[in-house]
Amino acid sequence: MNLRAFGYVGLGSDRLADWRAFGTEALGLQCAKATASTLRFRMDDREQRIFIDSTLPEGTGVFGWEVCDAAALDHFGAHLEDHGIAVSQAPASVADERGVAQLIAFDDPVGNRLEVFHSATVAGTPFAPARALSGFRTGTLGLGHIVFTVPRIDDVLPFYRDVLGFGVSDYMLSPFRAHFLHLNARHHSLALIETGRAGIHHLMVEACSLDDVGQALDLAESRDEVNVSLGRHTNDFMTSFYARSPSPLMVEFGWGGREIDPESWQPVELRDGPSLWGHERHWLPAEDRALAQRMRIEAAAAGARQPVQVMDGNFVRMSDTCPWTDGAREK
């Protein structure tokens, strides 16, 4: 019955031409289909992962969470109704639009439209990124992660954790309050940031090569779209930057996210801030930016660092190190 992954996302915007340019030129997604009201993007073998819908209000979205089959979807729907949640069965026409066999829909406590589905359609043609790119890390990890801003985390967290079954990865209280939640080995498929208002903060996609991030950063800088500088996260170890999209949300473009074991993971409080280095957050108030910078400098002074997380094909093991490093490592 459990939710397995973040399967698709739809964003409301009537800036379709801008989104088409951003999705393909900046992010490297494949535009699989464009109509008068929608854009459909591919990022892997599936028919679609990200769509833009001009009939949805700007700043809103639909968020698709995957279960394994029809029986699991039935069970999940019944489970939601047991918790007093109003669930609607989407008609076949909507399932077709989403590129899935079947879905149900309901709202979270702050009005985000959530959809639970099974059996996404695999495209009949290979993924063709819009520009040279090593590909996106998806599969069982899902398409990436989504981060919502919420008025109060305590009003929303119990819904995701206790009703939908997300596991808490970790949380922080400073320089802003945030909770990070997982469904699978991806450190977080969802995060909640307490800002006082409901909205979509950012969508993260993960490329397969560090150079994809650097090259996307160059492009984003040339387009004047960088909103959070290059940096590395403390909790999921992602090396990333954040670009302004044509909508109010940002898109985090990352590489090297860690994997966790969801069965044995124990949530912890993050005390060093959200980033090991970098990630200058232009969206934060000046006072919180200064605090975030202070936390990074203190963490660096304390020697905070983490190994890179690599996959086959994107690293070469080197043969030699220096005696001092070897000695320091053995201590």
Q: Which residues bind Fe ion (CB under 5 A)?
A: 204, 252
Closest CB to Fe ion among 60 and 275?
275
Nearer to Fe ion, 250 or 295 (CB): 250
Rounded to whole angstroms, the Cα distance separating 220 from 6 reads: 25
Task: For Fe ion, give the closer residue by CB, 170 or 252.
Answer: 252
The residue among 1 and 210 lying less far from Fe ion, judged by its C-beta, is: 210
Q: Shortest Cβ distance from residue 77 to Fe ion (Å)?
A: 29
H helices, E strands: number in the chain: 7, 18
In the complex with Fe ion, which residue's Cβ is closer, 16 or 204? 204
Q: Which residue is nearest to Fe ion (CB)?
A: 204
Question: Least distance from C-beta 146 to Fe ion, angstroms?
Answer: 9
Q: What is the DSSP letter of 234?
A: T
Closest separation in Å from C-beta 145 to Fe ion? 6
Element (H, E) at 156: helix 153-158
Query: Which CB, 125 or 306, lies closer to Fe ion?
Result: 306
Radius of gyration of the chain from its Cα atoms, rounded to whole angstroms: 20
Nearest distance in Å: CB 136, Fe ion: 15
Smallest separation, CB 327 to Fe ion (Å): 36
Identify the burial level of 307 via C-beta atoms within 10 angstroms of its C-beta, where 0-12 means exposed, 13-18 middle and 19 or more buried.
exposed
Nearer to Fe ion, 41 or 148 (CB): 148
Of 80 and 146, the one with the shorter C-beta distance to Fe ion is 146
Range list of β-strands (E), the chain: 5-12, 30-34, 38-42, 50-53, 61-66, 88-89, 100-107, 113-120, 145-150, 167-172, 178-182, 190-194, 199-207, 226-233, 239-244, 250-255, 268-270, 275-278
Q: Least distance (Å) from Fe ion to the CB of residue 249?
A: 11
Q: Is 71 helix (H, G, I), strand (E, B) or coil?
A: helix
The DSSP secondary-structure symbol of 23 reads I
CA distances from 198 to 59, 66, 184, 252 (A): 10, 23, 25, 19
Q: How far is the CB of 87 from Fe ion (least distance, A)?
A: 28
Q: How far is the CB of 204 from Fe ion (least distance, A)?
A: 4
- Of the candidates 167, 161, 210, the residue with the CA atom closest to the CA atom of residue 308: 210
> Who's near 133: CB < 8 A, 6+ residues apart?
28, 207, 212
Q: Which residue is associated with the tokens 């026409």?
A: 93
- Which residue stretches of 169-232 are H helix? 210-222
